[in-house]
Structure formats: structure tokens, C-alpha cells
Amino acid sequence: MAVRWGICSAGKISHDFTVALKTLPEEDHQVVAVAARNLQRAQEFAQKHNIPTVYGSYEELARDPNIDVVYVGTIHPQHLLVGVLFMNSKKNILCEKPLAMNIREVQELVATAKKNNVFLMEAVWTRFFPASLEISRLLSQDAIGEVKVVKADFGVPLLNTPRSVEKELGGGALLDIGIYCLQFVLMVYDGEKPESIQATGVCLNTGVDESMVITMKFSRGRLAVCSCTVSAELPNDAIISGTKGTIKIPAHMWCPTSLIVNGKETQYPVPEPYLPLNFINSTGMRYEAEEVRQCLLKGLKESSRMSHADSALLAEIMDEARRQVGVVYSQDHL
């Protein structure tokens, strides 16, 4: 039986996610409803994607009994309120990253999921790409020896994109794109909490971070360095250096379609979309969607690949990095 998806918000990322779902078998995944705060936008979205049910409010989507799981594609500051709304209506949730604005909000979302006995996962799509699964397999087999240093960069010019630079929209390089670098490090180090975190950065006049560099030290003298910026193009690669070799994602580290292992490259292409996409490799969101389906079939309330603990640690590290750089959101004062 197909998982019946509801789409919350009719923005660019929701468009790409819906296109990605259409690359999966219809008997496994169906988009049955979309909701936006503007009914006309929801209607246009539904027409474009051939979605049968349209709502002009999130509350209506929450009341729909024919939804198995809701994809939340709203801007960051809305994740807590919208997530609580759906989970209190007994809806399973796949919520775009960051799961919430800080660790307190993440803990509230997790508590709400547990209270209502529903599934909750942060949509860190990187973790579910075949290339990422291969990285985990290689590390478990000691393919490059003991990992000593992990380096990940993500930078793209987004200064003209309001959601990336305006504080009230949850802007800032770290929450928007730096999170991918951090989650990659934590994936490599198997969810271990770093012993120390050192962050330095440059802030925009809006009060959010334009650029940030975070250095972390883990047990046994292992290190990680993450760089992110919304003002320039970075290499956008990731390198895992071990005592016996290296694993490199040569480009698009947040949506990897190739790996170079000890000099040998392997390709992991994503399916072609049926409609134009807003972001590169977006059909790769199919992998996180299928993870949700597999978890629901098994009766799980979280994914072992991106667990509640993973989301909490990610938020905790970002909170500390923001504290050191001086980025404070209104949600931090609550």
C-alpha cells in the first residue's frame, strides 16, 4: 500500500520534493494533498503536480484523515509551530532541515513526536544518497584506516536571497547550508559528540552569519573543519582522510553523486526529473522519502540513519557555534 503524502507549503523546495517523489513507484508513494497559506498558490502547485486535494491553510491539512505523512517545506522559523500542529493531529512528519532554530525547539519537537507516538525525521537528504551509504560501508570496513581529519565546505552566493540573509526568516550561512557540513562530519564520526568546538565568523548587518568556519576535536585526536558562506562559491567538496587513504566527494557534498576512494572514482547518478528543478540533484530527495516509507512499514518512530539524537547533537553544535560568533535569533530568548 502506498504511503500517502501531504505537502506543507508550495515553495521551491516542496516543488522539488514532489518531483522527486514521482521518480518512485506510484504503488509506494502518492502525493494526495498540498497546503499553503495562500490558497491560489496551493491550487497552482496542485495543478502543476496533479495533486487531487488542495488546502489554503495548514490546519486543514492537519485534519485530513487520508494523510500518512506530511513533508514540511516551510521556512526554518515555522518548523516548530507547524511540526507541533501536525504531530498533535497524529501525523507523521518529514521536516526540512534545520529541524528547528535551536536545541530547545528540537527537543520540543521530539517530545511532541513521542507524546503522540508518531514518526519524526529531519530531512537531511545527504544521509540517504547511495554515495553516503557507501561511505558508511567503507568506514565500517576500515577501508581507509582510522579517520584522522574530515573537511567539508559549502559556499554559494546567496546575498540576494531573503531567506538566507534575513534574521526573521531564519537566515544565516550556518543554518541554511553549513548544517550540511556539520551533519557530514557527525555521520563520519558516527554521531559522536565533539570534545571541543571552535567557531569564528563574519556577520551581515542583518545580524546573521555571512561566513563561518568551525573546527571540532573528537576523541583519539581526530579533527574536523567545516566552512560555509553565503557570499562566495567554495569548492563544495568533502574529504575524509584516514591513516590508509582518503574518501572524497569531489563536488556537491550536500547531494553527492560521485565518490573518489583512494583515487578511484565511482558515479551514483540520480534519476532525471519530469519537471525542471530549482536545486541541483533534487530528485535525490527520493532516497529520504523511501527511508520514511521503510520506517513506517516497520513501525519505527525515527530513522537510525538520521535519529532524534542526531538532530539534537546537530542543533547543539550549531547553537554553540552561533554563540561564539554572536548570532542570536528571537527564538533563543524564549
CATH number at residue 87: 3.40.50.720
Domain final residue, candidates 125, 160, 188: 125
- Residues 168, 255, single domain; the answer is yes
- Residues 177, 314, single domain; the answer is yes
Per the domain annotation, does 287 fall within a domain? no
Full domain range(s) for residue 241: 130-267+308-329
- Residues 231, 95, single domain; the answer is no
pLDDT at 55: 98
- Give pLDDT tens digits for 221-242: 999 999 999 999 999 999 999 9
Per the domain annotation, does 108 fall within a domain? yes
- Residues 143, 94, single domain; the answer is no
- Residues 90, 166, single domain; the answer is no
What are the strands of the beta sheet with 69-72, ordered from one edge?
53-55, 29-35, 3-8, 69-72, 92-96, 120-123
Per the domain annotation, does 209 fall within a domain? yes
Per the domain annotation, does 184 fall within a domain? yes
Checking if the pLDDT of 334 tops 70, the result is no
- Which residue bears the cell 542583518? 206
- Give pLDDT tens digits for 9-42: 999 999 999 999 999 999 999 999 999 999 999 9
> Looking at the 3D structure of the chain, how many domains does it have?
2
How would you classify residue 30: left for phi > 0, otherwise alpha for psi between -120 and 50, otherwise beta?
beta
| Mean pLDDT taken over the chain | 98
- Residues 80, 105, single domain; the answer is yes
Contact between 28 and 3 under an 8 Å Cβ cutoff? The reply is yes
- Residues 38, 177, single domain; the answer is no
Per the domain annotation, does 138 fall within a domain? yes
Average pLDDT of the segment spanning 124-136:
98
Average pLDDT of the segment spanning 236-258:
98
Per the domain annotation, does 168 fall within a domain? yes
pLDDT > 90: what percent of the chain? Answer: 99
Domain final residue, candidates 125, 145, 169: 125
Average pLDDT of the segment spanning 296-314:
98
- Residues 156, 195, single domain; the answer is yes
- Residues 183, 321, single domain; the answer is yes
Per the domain annotation, does 46 fall within a domain? yes
Average pLDDT of the segment spanning 312-321:
98
Domain final residue, candidates 91, 125, 159: 125
- Give pLDDT tens digits for 196-218: 999 999 999 999 999 999 999 99
- Residues 91, 26, single domain; the answer is yes
Residues 6 or more apart from 276 whose CB is under 8 A from it?
none
- Residues 215, 319, single domain; the answer is yes
Residues 6 or more apart from 172 whose CB is under 8 A from it?
164, 165, 208, 209, 230, 322, 327
pLDDT at 124: 98
- Residues 9, 104, single domain; the answer is yes
pLDDT band at 1 (very low <50, low <70, confident <90, very high): confident
Domain at 174, CATH number: 3.30.360.10
Per the domain annotation, does 285 fall within a domain? no
C-alpha span between 152 and 111 (Å, rounded): 31
pLDDT > 70: what percent of the chain? Answer: 100
C-alpha cell at 219: 576523541
